[in-house]
Amino acid sequence: MFPAAFDYVAARSRDEAYAALAEHGGGARVLAGGQSLIPAMRFRLARPSVLVDINRIADLAYVAESAGELRLGAAARDQAFELSPEIRSGRYPMLADVCAVVADPVVRQMGTVVGSLCHNDPAGDWPVAALAGNASVVVRGKGGERVVPIGEFIVDSYTTAVGDGEMALEVRFPTPTARTAGAYLKIERKVGDFATAAAAARVTLAEDGTIASASIALGAAGPCAFRVAEAERALTGAKPSAAAIAAAAAAARSAADPVTDTRGTVAYKKQMAGVLVERALRKAFARLGLENVR
Amino acid sequence: MKVSITVNGAAYERDVEPRVLLAYFLREDLGLTGTHVGCDTSSCGCCVVLIDGERAVKSCNMFAVMADGHEITTIEGMKAAGKLHPMQQAFTDQHGLQCGYCTPGMMATAIAFLKHNPDPTEAQIRDALSGNMCRCTGYNNIVKAVQQAAAELSAPPSEPPAPEPAVAS
């Protein structure tokens, strides 16, 4: 099962990649780890005429923290992120949750975080966490670089704000303050399978102990990952409580719009979206020192 | 496209179509059939090889042209100076295989894993191997083999190799 024929450009620098993308426009795709793109090409779900390989661009493989943000270059691999001092520091617990469950440990040695965001699979892990983590993506187009909030970056199934001839250069995750914590959870039939259901929760506590802000995102629950505004409203301003958690979980259950497939029925997946939101919230609260919220 | 790929220490110059997957390049162009193709969809881990000695990759999910300028190690290249690699020896000692189909991929994955986690717990070993499927062994002897290899690889070179574990009769 080989993909259709394509031309291959091994870009050695950002400028070489930009030039190749500009030259080939909509027929070209960026090749980073290839862990989603190559299977899609083999199944002929994707059929680019040119692949622009960015794996040799050393200055795109960084994981760096600066100015209150964690930044990952387009060629930064999942495993490099998982083993980075930034993730090991414990200051990004929600992102660490994701690092440990993306695909399988071998796939993570090739796959990239930015590549996963660009692939934007409805059941992908990083789009969910990026939404809950208020991430943004730096996209490089004809007019230069622009910073796109993740909510605008994610457009539809397998579709992002990256246009023809453009490429995503970097993802930025705001560094959580001491009063912010999140968690990411998913249900999968086996390691490496697409998620049956996935949820991320991130909360910030105010000085008085109430919830100053919350973001709740779901995956495998619609055409693409999305935030559940009603769940966030149920939490914002409330005291961390079982009732607030239950209200957020109910909102997630009702907002989830999955499809029945071999991984479960619509009813089961909606139920699991609620269960995962509850568990993710409890995990996030525990990370803020609030165990067993009642 | 012209590529220059070092496989098991030998440099190969070849002209390959960009769409040729590394697993097929190794098996069909170079005749290195120790790299097995199982699922052919990046799910089973049978085709895992080492890139630059430290990263395990599913070679059915990488184009050969991506390996241009890199060093690939397959099962055929693990033996050194006529001696089995400690991982190969451990799989032999612990009976970490039955049919052997998953074994090259298991060993490549385990070798890469021990590079960044030389003293793993059993749970960490099981997690590290979770992208590699074995349909025969039930994994227990594979985990024991990785434990034996970890002990041997992290032992100071002056020490004798770890003794053979007692086998219950």
Reported as a single tens digit per residue, the pLDDT across B13-32 is 999 999 999 999 999 999 99
Q: Which pLDDT score is estimated for A144?
A: 95
- Residue B38 covered by a domain: yes
Around Cβ B168, how many Cβ atoms within 10 Å? 4
Q: Which of B42, B76, B110 is the last residue of a domain?
A: B76
Q: Which pLDDT score is estimated for B167?
A: 61
Kindly state the average pLDDT of the residues B51-59.
97
User: In this structure, are B8 and B65 located in the same domain?
Assistant: yes
Give the single-character DSSP code of A251: H
Record: contact A105-B41, CB cut-off 8 A: no
Q: Residues A189, A265: contact at Cβ < 8 Å?
A: no
- Residue A185 covered by a domain: no
Q: Which pLDDT score is estimated for B163?
A: 59
For A38-80, the DSSP string reads HHHHHTTS---SEEEE-TT-GGGS-EEEETTEEEEETT-BHHH
User: In this structure, are B71 and B90 located in the same domain?
Assistant: no
Pairing outcome for strands A180-187 and A154-156? unpaired
Q: Name residue B138's amino acid.
A: G
Quote the minimal CA–CA distance from B110 to chain A in Å: 10
Q: Which pLDDT score is estimated for B168?
A: 56
User: In this structure, are B71 and B102 located in the same domain?
Assistant: no
Task: Domain count for chain A, please give it.
Answer: 3
Q: Which of B28, B58, B76 is the last residue of a domain?
A: B76
Record: contact B130-A103, CB cut-off 8 A: no
User: In this structure, are A146 and A214 located in the same domain?
Assistant: no
The two three-digit tokens of residue B21, written as one number: 């997957």
Instruction: Locate the chain A residue with the closest alpha carbon to B125.
Output: A105
Q: What is the pLDDT of residues B149-165, one digit of tens each?
A: 999 999 876 655 565 66
Collect all residues of chain B within an 8 Å Cβ-Cβ radius of residue A12: none
Q: Give the closest of B19, B66, B109 to A55, CB-based.
A: B66
Collect all residues of chain B within an 8 Å Cβ-Cβ radius of residue A30: none
Give the single-character DSSP code of B26: I
Residues in chain B: 169
Record: contact A106-B66, CB cut-off 8 A: no
CATH classification of the domain holding B114: 1.10.150.120
User: In this structure, are A133 and A223 located in the same domain?
Assistant: no
User: In this structure, are A28 and A68 located in the same domain?
Assistant: no
Compute φ and ψ for B89, nearest 5 degrees.
-60, -40
Q: Which pLDDT score is estimated for A156?
A: 98
Record: contact A105-B40, CB cut-off 8 A: no
B142: containing domain: 86-154
First and final C-alpha spacing in chain B: 57
Closest CA to A177 of A137, A212, A219: A212
Q: Give the closest of B17, B21, B57 to A106, CB-based.
A: B57
Record: contact A6-B18, CB cut-off 8 A: yes
Task: Report how far residue A31's alpha carbon sits from residue B76's, in angstroms, rounded to the nearest whole number.
Answer: 29
Q: Which pLDDT score is estimated for B62?
A: 98
Q: Which pLDDT score is estimated for B160?
A: 56
- Residue B39 covered by a domain: yes
Q: Which pLDDT score is estimated for A179?
A: 97
CA angle A265, A152, A263 (to 5 degrees): 15
A265: containing domain: 191-287
User: In this structure, are B102 and B149 located in the same domain?
Assistant: yes
- Residue A293 covered by a domain: no
CATH classification of the domain holding B57: 3.10.20.30
Q: Which pLDDT score is estimated for B155?
A: 87
User: In this structure, are B104 and B72 located in the same domain?
Assistant: no
CATH classification of the domain holding A236: 3.30.390.50
Instruction: Please check whether residue B29 touches A, CB under 8 A.
Output: no
Closest CA to B146 of B135, B117, B159, B168: B117
Is residue A107 classed as helix, strand or coil in its secondary structure? helix
- Residue A27 covered by a domain: yes
Collect all residues of chain A within an 8 Å Cβ-Cβ radius of residue B109: 105-106
Collect all residues of chain B within an 8 Å Cβ-Cβ radius of residue A76: none
Q: Which pLDDT score is estimated for B158?
A: 61
B42, B57, B126: best to mutate for the A interface, most A CBs within 10 A: B42
Alpha helix segments (H runs only) across chain A: 14-24, 37-42, 78-82, 85-88, 93-99, 113-119, 126-132, 150-153, 229-235, 242-255, 266-287
Task: Domain count for chain B, please give it.
Answer: 2
What's chain A's average pLDDT?
97
Q: Check pLDDT > 70 for residue B124.
A: yes
User: In this structure, are B71 and B7 located in the same domain?
Assistant: yes
Say what the ipTM of the complex is: 0.95
Record: contact B42-A34, CB cut-off 8 A: no
Around Cβ A12, how many Cβ atoms within 10 Å? 13
Is residue A125 classed as helix, strand or coil in its secondary structure? coil
- Residue B160 covered by a domain: no
pLDDT under 70 in chain A at which residues?
Answer: none
Closest CA to A170 of A92, A234, A113, A241: A113
Kindly state the average pLDDT of the residues B79-104.
97
Instruction: Please check whether residue B27 touches A, CB under 8 A.
Output: no
Closest CA to A221 of A248, A235, A200, A202: A200
Q: Residues A73, A62: contact at Cβ < 8 Å?
A: yes
User: In this structure, are A106 and A162 located in the same domain?
Assistant: yes
